[in-house]
Structure 1
Amino acid sequence: MTSAADIRSTLRHGRSSIGAWLTLPSPELAECLAGCGFDWLAVDMEHGAIGIETAGRVFIAAERHGVAPFARLPSADPYLARRLLDQGCQGLIVPVVESAEDFRAFASHCLYPPAGKRGVGLSRGNQFGDSFDTMLNHFQPLLVPQIETRAGVAAAAAIAALPMVDALFLGPYDLSASLGQAGNFATPAFADAMAEVRHACAEAGKAAGIHQVAPVLDGLEARKEEGFRLIAFGTDAQAIRHVFAPLKA
């Protein structure tokens, strides 16, 4: 199975890692996406309709196809993060991060002692004890703060410099809203913000990430050319609508 360590190595070697994005509470749909060649599958718990029980079943579906299960949290909730990691989550995308110190405090709950203060117990994530020592001594989830406000952009360099951060993930819609023109990605302010986040990543040797929401390959290639390497491509719902939208014409 693709692991957090595999994706971390991919990013550190300057290669791209592409993920699917699940918003609908369906392990069967997750399995369909997991069989399409993605490296990881993110359960969207911020804007999607997926709870923790369904997330666990989605993780199983992803693993069946060798795809790393991720989650986008609804907030920097350390105790939900702990539960998802215990369910086998390999990576966490954390929305609206605006402070390096706040993210450091959150991340401490995701790392086992002595690096952090994650609770230690038997769970699905360590195969109910069968891989307990391996997980305790070697596992570190991929940790990805989202930069999606003016304050986040201002703090991007400090956040990217944190040793436990693997990438910064730019949230284009929320960032454009924070800049005063929601959904307008053509403003100079938005272009400057994107450039600042990418520069922060480059200076820290971390990957820049983004969500290419429209499920079109030209858009995916454009994000790669812009320098983004951790890319969520489309969503389950958007992919379905993209295929059937011509029926409305």
Structure 2
Amino acid sequence: MRPNKIKQMWREKKTATMGWLSVGHSFTAEVMARQGGFDSLCVDLQHGTSEWNNVLSMLQAISQTDVTPFVRVNWNNPNDIMRALDLGAYGIIVPLINNAKEAAAAVAACRFPPVGFRSNGPIRAAQYGGSDYVANANDEIIVMAMIETKEGLANLDAICATPGLDAVYIGPADLSFALGMPPRGDNPDPLHMATCDKILAAAHKAGIKCVMHCASGAFAGGALKRGFDMVMVTSDISCMLAGVKREMAELKAKSA
């Protein structure tokens, strides 16, 4: 089976980067994958514009490169998790995990029996992963639980101790809600920062990884220095907006 690049990097004690695909189009996915710097890209089915009819072509576009494909499903729904894996996702991010039972259900949906209850039908995954996909997928597929709710914080240690869970993923905007703050990315509030560090410490204590969702390279760099194992650096839509704003500002300055 094709090795999971992110798992390899983690075994070698390396940190990893991720880019975010909010635009539901294969060309956008291909462009992001070909820019260099991203170890992985995530197709966002929770808040992005992608629908299921976009996912296959987006994963195919990513797979033209050595970037590892992830999918964030829109809910802890085993049908959606299994479908994303069958289409070739090598990592699943599950939002709004509140307790260990929910985390265990997410893990089980990502694992073939006898470890879990994933149904056998990797129609495209076996083409991407290799003919021995079914025999080895349980060891290669990454499953991440998002910690971003009050209940999730209250059950943090139990979630991190879930057998088979590879990482917890911090959603900073919803975590801001949980802490009584307006939602924002790259939140510098001391309480928010301390809470993220608490999640990081709990993950490492349990022997799993911790991933920080960032909105800029500067904040992502700081997260790596703080000890995070992976950072989501930026998204396709953020890059497009930043580029447009920069060029229009330069036009205004040069034509004044």
Give yes or no for TM over 0.5: yes
TM-score (norm 2): 0.89
Which residue is 2:211 aligned to? Answer: 209
Change beyond 3 A, Cα 1:221–1:129 = closer
Q: Which residue of 1 aligns with 2:192?
A: 190
RMSD: 2.0
Aligned to 1:200: 202
Counterpart secondary structure, 1:174: helix
Tell me how far 1:189 sits from its aligned partner. Answer: 3.0
**Which runs of structure 2 are paired with 1:77-88 in the superposition (5 Å)?**
77-88=77-88
Following TM superposition, by how much is the alpha carbon of 1:191 offset from its aligned partner in structure 2, in angstroms?
2.8
How many Å separate the matches in 2 of 1:2 and 1:33? 21
The CA deviation at 1:138 is 0.7
The answer to whether 1:244 aligns with 2:215 is no
Q: Is the 8 A contact 2:2 2:130 kept in 1?
A: no
Describe the SS at the equivalent of 1:146: strand
- 1:159 to 1:9, Cα distance in 2 relative to 1, 3 A: farther
Q: What is the match of residue 104 of structure 1? A: 104
Q: What is the identity, as a one-letter code, of the residue corresponding to 1:74? A: N
The 1:25/1:77 distance shift into structure 2, 3 A limit, reads: same
Q: Which residue of 1 aligns with 2:135?
A: 137
Q: Aligned partners of 1:174, 1:56: CA distance in 2, in Å?
A: 28
CA deviation after TM superposition for structure 1 residue 100, in Å? 0.9
Whole-angstrom CA distance in 2 between matches of 1:113 and 1:219: 40
> Partners in 1 of 2:89 and 2:199 — Cα distance?
26
Q: Where in structure 1 are there 5+ consecutive unaligned residues? A: none
1:21 aligns with 2:20: yes
> Judging changes above 3 Å, is the alpha-carbon distance between structure 1 residues 232 and 157 closer, same or farther for their aligned structure 2 residues?
same
- The alignment's TM-score, normalised by the length of structure 1, stands at 0.91
SS at match of 1:234: strand
**What are the residue-to-residue correspondences of 1:170-185 with 2, within 5 Å?**
170-183=170-183, 185=187
- Listed as ranges, the matches of 1:85-164 within 5 Å are 85-121=85-121, 123-127=123-127, 131=131, 134-140=132-138, 141-164=141-164
The answer as to whether partners of 1:82 and 1:110 remain within 8 angstroms in 2 is yes
* SS of corresponding position for 2:63: helix
Whole-Å separation in 2 of the counterparts to 1:222 and 1:122: 38
Q: What are the ranges of 5 or more consecutive residues in structure 2 without an aligned counterpart?
A: none
Displacement after TM superposition at 1:130 (Å): 6.6
Tell me the amino acid that sits aligned with residue 108 of structure 1.
A
| Secondary structure, aligned partner of 1:139 | helix
Q: How many Å apart are 1:207 and its aligned residue?
A: 1.5
Count of aligned pairs = 244
Aligned to 1:167: 167
